[in-house]
C-alpha cells in the first residue's frame, strides 16, 4: 500500500505564521477539545498562544525553536538568562492586537504537552505558492470503490500517544484517566484536584464530612443529610446522590438565576475557591457549580454518540431544589502505611 505525506495550511497573520488548532492537535497527537481547554486556561493567566477568528481557533507558531524554549525552562533553576521568544505582538483579522508569549506558555503547559512539543517538527514548506506544514502520512487505497483520499491515521507504533490506551480509527479512542480534562483549583484553596471528576468527588467528600461535623456538634437540631456519597469496590464506581436547596431570583432581562442555599451555615460549609475555576464560597454552592461544569464538559465530547452521561443535574422550581446524581469510575492505591486512597478517574 502506497503512502503520501499530508499537509495542512499555514496562515500569515501580520507577519506571524499560525495554524489551525485542529492542525496543532494532529501534530501533538492530542485531542483538539483538550488543547482548546488548555489554551483557554492559560489565557486566563494572561498567557496567549492563539486566537479565535470567526469559527476557528488559530495557534501562533513560535519564532524560537521549541526545543530551545524547553531547554530554557529546564535550565531556569540554574540559569536566569532570558529566551529570545518573548512577548510578540500581532494584529488579528478583527483589527485587535494580541501579544503571544510561548516562553511563558511552555512554563504553564503540562509535562505531557511539552514532551510532545519536543518531539514535534514544525517544518514549513511551500506548495503551489501556499505555506503548508506536514502533519503525517496517509494511505493511498488502490480500490476503485474506496476513495483515494482517506482520513489521516497515526498508528500507535509510530508515536508515543500520551493519552491513548487503545483505539480503532473512526470508531473509538480510549484515553488514560489522567490526561483529558483540566481544572484549576486555585492557590491555597479548599480543593487540590486538577481534573473535573476528581474535583467533584473531592467536594462531595468535603460536604459529606461537613454534614457529619455539623450534626455531631448540634445533637438537638434536625440532622442534615442532603448528600450521600458511596464508594463501591464491587462495581468500581463512586455513587453520589444530593439534593441541594436553591433560591430562584429574576435578573436583568428576565433571566432566572438559581443560587444554592447554605443549609449548613458557617463554619461547616466554608469553602475557599482560591481564585481558580470556581467562584463559589460555600460547599453547597461549590457542589452545584462543579456538577454543572462536569455535566457541560460531558456535553462537549464529540461525536455526540460518544458523550458520557455520568452526571445529571435537575432543577425543580416548585420545591426549590437541585437534584444531583453521579456515577464515576475510580482507582485505588495503597500507601506505605496501609492507608487506601480513592481517586476518581478522569473519564473525559
What is the per-residue pLDDT across 9-29, written as a single tens digit (0 to 9) for each?
Answer: 888 887 788 999 999 988 888
Q: State the average pLDDT over residues 175-190.
A: 74
Q: How confident is the model at residue 168 (pLDDT cuts 50, 70, 90)?
A: low
Question: CA 234, CA 101: separation in Å to the nearest integer?
Answer: 49
- Spans of all domains in the chain: 2-175, 196-344
Q: 325 by DSSP, 3-state: which?
A: strand
- pLDDT value of residue 169: 46
pLDDT at 283 over 50: yes
How far is it, in rounded angstroms, from Cα 14 to Cα 34?
28
Instruction: Round to whole Å and give the CA distance between 58 and 340.
Output: 44
Cα–Cα separations (whole angstroms), residue 145 to 3, 81, 150: 18, 59, 12
Q: Is 317 exposed, middle or buried (0-12, 13-18, 19+ CB in 10 A)?
A: exposed
Residues in the chain: 348
- Structure confidence at residue 330 (pLDDT): 87
Q: What share of the chain has pLDDT > 90, as a percent?
A: 32
pTM for the model stands at 0.51
Q: Which residues contact 136 (CB under 8 A, 6 or more apart)?
A: 5, 6, 26, 152, 153, 154
Q: What is the per-residue pLDDT for 16?
A: 84
Looking at residue 174, its pLDDT comes to 56
β-strand partners of 313: 324
What CA–CA distance (Å, rounded) separates 317 from 320?
5
In whole angstroms, what is the distance from residue 47 CA to residue 111 CA?
Answer: 17
Which three cell numbers, joined as nine digits, stand for 260? 444554592
Are the beta carbons of 94 and 53 closer than 8 angstroms?
Answer: yes
State the pLDDT at residue 138: 57
Which span out of 1-5, 181-185, 212-216 was modeled with the highest average pLDDT? 212-216
Quick: pLDDT tens for 137-159.
Answer: 655 444 444 443 333 333 333 33
pLDDT tens digit string along 53-77?
Answer: 878 899 998 888 877 877 776 665 4
Distance CA 73, CA 221 (A): 56
Name the one residue in this structure whose C-alpha cell is 473531592: 202
Using CA atoms, how far residue 125 sits from 6, 67, 131, 134, in Å, is 12, 20, 6, 8
Average pLDDT, the chain: 80
Is residue 30 classed as helix, strand or coil in its secondary structure? coil
DSSP state of 129: T
Q: Which residue has the cell 503520501?
A: 4
Q: How confident is the model at residue 284 (pLDDT cuts 50, 70, 90)?
A: very high
Q: How confident is the model at residue 253, as a pLDDT?
A: 77
Judge whether residue 79 has pLDDT over 80. no
Whether residue 128 has pLDDT greater than 90:
no
Q: Compute the average pLDDT of residues 26-46.
A: 88
The reported pLDDT for the residue numbered 88 is 61
Bond prior to 113 in cis (omega within 30° of 0): no
CA-based R_g, the chain, Å: 24
pLDDT, residue 265, reads: 93
Amino acid at each position: 500500500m502506497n503512502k503520501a505525506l499530508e499537509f495542512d495550511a499555514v496562515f500569515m497573520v501580520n507577519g506571524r505564521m499560525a495554524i489551525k488548532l485542529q492542525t496543532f492537535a494532529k501534530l501533538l497527537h492530542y485531542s483538539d477539545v483538550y488543547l482548546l481547554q488548555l489554551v483557554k486556561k492559560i489565557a486566563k493567566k494572561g498567557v496567549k498562544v492563539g486566537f479565535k477568528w470567526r469559527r476557528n481557533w488559530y495557534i501562533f507558531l513560535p519564532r524560537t525553536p521549541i526545543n530551545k524554549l524547553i531547554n530554557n525552562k529546564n535550565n531556569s533553576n540554574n540559569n536566569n538568562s532570558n529566551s529570545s521568544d518573548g512577548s510578540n505582538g500581532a494584529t488579528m483579522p478583527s483589527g485587535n492586537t494580541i501579544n503571544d508569549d510561548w516562553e511563558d506558555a511552555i512554563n504553564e503547559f503540562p509535562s505531557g504537552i511539552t514532551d510532545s512539543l519536543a518531539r514535534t517538527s514544525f517544518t514549513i514548506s511551500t506548495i503551489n505558492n501556499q505555506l503548508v506544514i506536514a502533519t503525517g502520512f496517509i494511505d493511498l487505497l488502490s480500490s476503485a470503490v474506496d476513495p483515494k483520499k482517506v482520513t489521516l491515521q497515526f498508528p500507535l507504533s509510530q508515536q508515543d500517544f500520551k493519552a491513548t490506551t487503545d483505539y480503532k480509527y473512526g470508531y473509538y479512542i480510549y484515553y488514560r484517566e489522567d490526561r483529558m480534562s483540566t481544572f484549576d483549583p486555585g492557590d491555597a484553596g479548599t480543593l487540590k484536584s486538577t481534573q473535573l471528576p476528581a474535583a467533584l468527588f473531592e467536594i462531595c467528600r468535603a460536604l459529606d464530612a461537613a454534614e457529619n461535623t455539623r450534626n455531631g456538634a448540634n445533637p438537638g437540631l434536625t440532622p442534615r443529610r442532603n448528600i450521600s456519597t458511596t464508594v463501591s469496590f464491587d462495581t468500581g464506581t463512586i455513587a453520589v446522590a444530593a439534593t441541594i436547596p436553591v433560591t430562584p431570583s429574576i435578573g436583568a432581562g428576565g433571566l432566572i438565576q438559581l443560587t444554592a442555599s447554605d443549609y449548613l451555615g458557617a463554619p461547616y460549609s466554608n469553602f475557599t475557591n482560591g481564585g481558580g475555576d470556581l467562584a463559589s464560597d460555600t460547599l453547597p454552592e461549590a457542589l452545584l457549580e462543579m456538577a454543572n461544569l462536569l455535566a457541560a464538559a460531558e456535553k462537549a465530547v464529540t461525536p455526540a454518540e460518544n458523550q458520557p452521561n455520568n452526571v445529571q443535574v435537575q432543577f425543580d422550581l416548585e420545591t426549590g431544589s437541585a437534584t444531583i446524581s453521579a456515577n464515576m469510575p475510580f482507582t485505588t492505591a495503597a500507601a506505605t502505611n496501609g492507608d487506601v486512597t480513592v481517586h476518581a478517574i478522569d473519564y473525559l
